Structure 1
Amino acid sequence: MKHLLLGLFLVTQFSISQQNTAKLNPNSLRIELTNGHWFNGNTFVEKKVWVNNGILSFSKENTQNDTVIDLTGKYVIPPFAEAHNHNLESDYELEKRISAYLDNGVFYVKHLSSIKKRIDPLMHHYNKPNGIDVSLAHAPLTGSGGHPVALRKRFLGYGHFDGLFNTIEEIESHGYFIMDNEDDLKRKWNQVLSFKPNFIKINLLYSEEYVKRKNDTAYFGKKGLDPDLVPAIVAKAHKNNLRVSAHVATAHDFHVAVAAGVHEIAHLPEIHNGQSIALEDAQLAAQRGVVVTTTASLVTKNRKKPNYDELLGNVRSNLKILKEAGVTLAIGSDMYNDSSVGEFQLLHSLNLFSNLELLKMWCENSATTTLPHRKIAFLKEGYEASFLVLDKNPLQQIDDVNKSIKLRVKQGAILD
């Protein structure tokens, strides 16, 4: 019998053979975890837990364990997730970004748009046992001259697409799909599906001014889909068992998206404009199970504006409307150099959510909207054995929860 000291944990009976490798994760161990307090969605309960083939069990004791870990009274929670970002498409400092996610306990990332030709060479970094798991929309749907056409054009000028595209016209159908009417939707839909997206992203920006902005070049990049086309897009996605995530800017965009039946709102609306969400729209979103990803920390980009405090106050007010209506909130930053930690910290600073609400938003809601078909985000029988062990009870002290991680386990394999 070998004795191995792993951080603060005493690990015993450590022996792994090829015959005992897991089906889910080839590095998975058969583990017995004792004296740990496990999060059950509301509180922490002391339990003995087993891991076999990368799966959790609270009742089926392993007949032989590779590893026994005494958790010495520490606290076990599901991993965190980042429900909105775009920072995994470039190889620039990619390992640093992946390490930042894992170091902070963020195992799952929802990538809201990407160019498939650009991200494909990097996919060997993702969706593997010792890395982060990602879901991808690839090219978003927008209107002529809409977001993100201007952004793609700017990046083309910076040389980000050298070797892939020479003109902005070549990027169309790779970096975005122009959908101005139902004929476009019918003609291009199979190409959208050919990229095998995990979900569909649509861009709604200032839809209340769609007619005004449609043909005005002054609004290049500051407009999106025809709001009347959105229900048809959602219906197409439903037929192909694809969820729809809507980028929104205004309260009216939020209204259009929720009324059309989208599954997710990718941004808190009115972050930069300072208007209120209609209560009836928030109530409808709750009734339909629509997830709203916060991205509230984007308001900090307005710090130098004289009305910053008003904008921050409006962000808090709209989050309160959503919370009180019962809308499911997920934590996502849309900040290139963040791993959803900064978003969590801003939400905590608003003094709007309890520690329990913040924990569930980051561990449960963010993960399930990122990878809705996986058995993750909960510490339940038969779920993936992915979890974080903390030396502090986050229901009592959550402000530095990511810094209190003592052990990271993904699909039954110890990452540390």
Structure 2
Amino acid sequence: MIYEKPAVKSFVFLFTVLVLSCVPDLPKDNLKARKNPDGLKIKLTNGNWFNGENFTKRDVWVDEGLLSFSPISKPMDTVLDLTGKYIIPPFAEAHNHNLESAYKLQDRIDSYLNNGIFYVKLLSSIKKRIDPLMHHYNKPLGLDVSLAHAPLTANGGHPIALRKRYLHYGYFKGLFNTIGDIESHGFFIINNCEDLDNQWERILSFGPDFIKIMLLYSEEYEMRKNDTTYFGHKGLNPTVVPEIVKRAHQSGLRVSAHVETTHDFHVAVKAGVDEIAHLPEIDNGKPIAEEHAILAKEKDVVVTTTVSLVTKKKEKPEYGELVENIRSNLILLKKKGVKLAIGSDMYNDNSLGEFQLLHNLNVFTNLELLKMWTENSAMTIFPNRKIGFLREGYEASFLVLNKNPLKDISDITETIEMRVKQGALLK
């Protein structure tokens, strides 16, 4: 056995870290693609395929719902001449809640698919309510959804007031009779680490795809926690958040944090969450600290935009200032290299409206917007799947456009001529 002195081991370790830090980002080797044995065998010719930076003209094959950039020896079902059109990955909605109810559900699904949005992240949902609808989702001809189910909050925290109001409206008829019945289905109350110990197995029993936590005005946690006037306008004890993140990661689950303030943003990033579900201070107009943006980049935290929420204050005199604050925060996050995903959190809309508002802010180039809406958004919804890119062995899900979006992206959804999901052509 060869013995290495501690100093030698330390040097080797440091050298390895330095070398690895210089290696460019590569696709994760643990990613998996969802095959579709019923998908068509297609040869696509004369298409301009997006490679992450620009478009390359090439022939591509599809078999069992997967992409191949090398010829497939099997007989093809069809050959499609794309006549120089532009092929990009599908779009995604990184924050919404509007697929849990049967009300106008098909209209919502059609709106997503018609606009080329194939992947949706539901940041909270009631399992008993959405289970009967799951046959619509996660199949080649349907939307793919990722679910958090019940978010973690504290006594009187968000979304308890919201659940109580919907109970009063009769939205949960046949499911729950009291707000107490909704607990653990619509929210988990975690006031301390003891609650977390007692509730963790119950949390996991619902089978969430990720964990959603609620941070609201955490800088005022002590002042708000026992004050009923803040019912629905408070969240977790910030000191509990690192332990939640630790538990979730040990269970193989990512953590998404609802934030209201820049202090919440810092608490979440410092604790090691994987995703910030909202741009902070949309309602209050305060800047993100530069050092906190740098920390988010260092920890590879994804920030979901949700800037559409500001439009709810369009008639307010402070609207212009709020928009300018959003713009400056986006500029800071972009400058520091923080990964941004496009999500709206607009119940009666989807990420198309969010994209349009982001485009109008003139913060991002066409290339940046395209990558945010395709690559970044898909990766934060399904981080373990081969989607969001047009690469060998990735799922054959893509959009065919009649115009180059890098030159003009303003009306991108209106330029869609074909939608393919896992090798199946969508109507």
Common topology (TM > 0.5): yes
Amino acid at match of 1:284: L
Tell me the equivalent position of 2:348: 337
CA distance in 2, matches of 1:97, 1:264: 25
Tell me the equivalent position of 1:135: 146
- 1:21-32 alignment, distance < 5 Å: 24-32=35-43
- C-alpha distance after superposition, 1:105-152 (max 9, x if no partner): 000000000000000011001001100000000000001000000000
Tell me the equivalent position of 1:268: 279
Amino acid at match of 2:235: G
Q: CA shift at 1:393, angstroms?
A: 0.3
1:79–1:105 CA contact under 8 A, matched in 2: yes
CA distance in 2, matches of 1:166, 1:413: 43
Task: Identify which of 166, 183, 188 aligns with 1:177.
Answer: 188
CA distance in 1, matches of 2:373, 2:35: 24
The range that moved more, 59-68 or 254-263, is 59-68
Matched, 1:63 2:71: no
Amino acid at match of 2:397: S
Q: CA shift at 1:338, angstroms?
A: 1.2
Tell me the equivalent position of 2:237: 226
Amino acid at match of 2:271: A
Q: CA shift at 1:61, angstroms?
A: 2.8
1:30–1:62 CA contact under 8 A, matched in 2: no
Change (3 A) 1:402 1:62: farther
1:52–1:62 CA contact under 8 A, matched in 2: no
Q: CA shift at 1:331, angstroms?
A: 0.1
SS at match of 2:420: strand
Tell me the equivalent position of 1:79: 90
CA distance in 2, matches of 1:90, 1:400: 30
1:27–1:129 CA contact under 8 A, matched in 2: no
CA distance in 1, matches of 2:52, 2:173: 47
Tell me the equivalent position of 1:17: none
CA distance in 1, matches of 2:36, 2:391: 18
TM-score (norm 2): 0.92
CA distance in 2, matches of 1:138, 1:319: 29
| Sequence identity (%) | 69
Amino acid at match of 1:50: W
TM-score (norm 1): 0.94
Matched, 1:302 2:313: yes
Matched, 1:360 2:351: no
CA distance in 1, matches of 2:127, 2:269: 28
CA distance in 2, matches of 1:355, 1:62: 37
Task: Identify which of 150, 169, 177 aligns with 1:158.
Answer: 169
Q: CA shift at 1:295, angstroms?
A: 0.1
Number of aligned residue pairs: give it.
395
Q: Which runs of 5 or more residues in structure 1 are unaligned?
A: 1-22
Tell me the equivalent position of 1:195: 206
- C-alpha distance after superposition, 1:170-227 (max 9, x if no partner): 1111000000000100000000000000000000000000001000011000000000
Tell me the equivalent position of 1:54: 65
CA distance in 2, matches of 1:303, 1:218: 26
Tell me the equivalent position of 1:5: none
Matched, 1:41 2:41: no
- C-alpha distance after superposition, 1:323-367 (max 9, x if no partner): 101000000000011120000000000000000000000000000
Tell me the equivalent position of 2:380: 369
Q: Which runs of 5 or more residues in structure 2 are unaligned?
A: 1-33
Q: CA shift at 1:26, angstroms?
A: 4.4
Runs of 4 or more off by more than 3 Å in structure 1?
none
Tell me the equivalent position of 1:397: 408
CA distance in 2, matches of 1:54, 1:326: 33
Amino acid at match of 2:124: S
CA distance in 2, matches of 1:60, 1:258: 45
CA distance in 1, matches of 2:229, 2:38: 55
Amino acid at match of 2:307: A
Task: Identify which of 368, 384, 388 aligns with 2:395.
Answer: 384
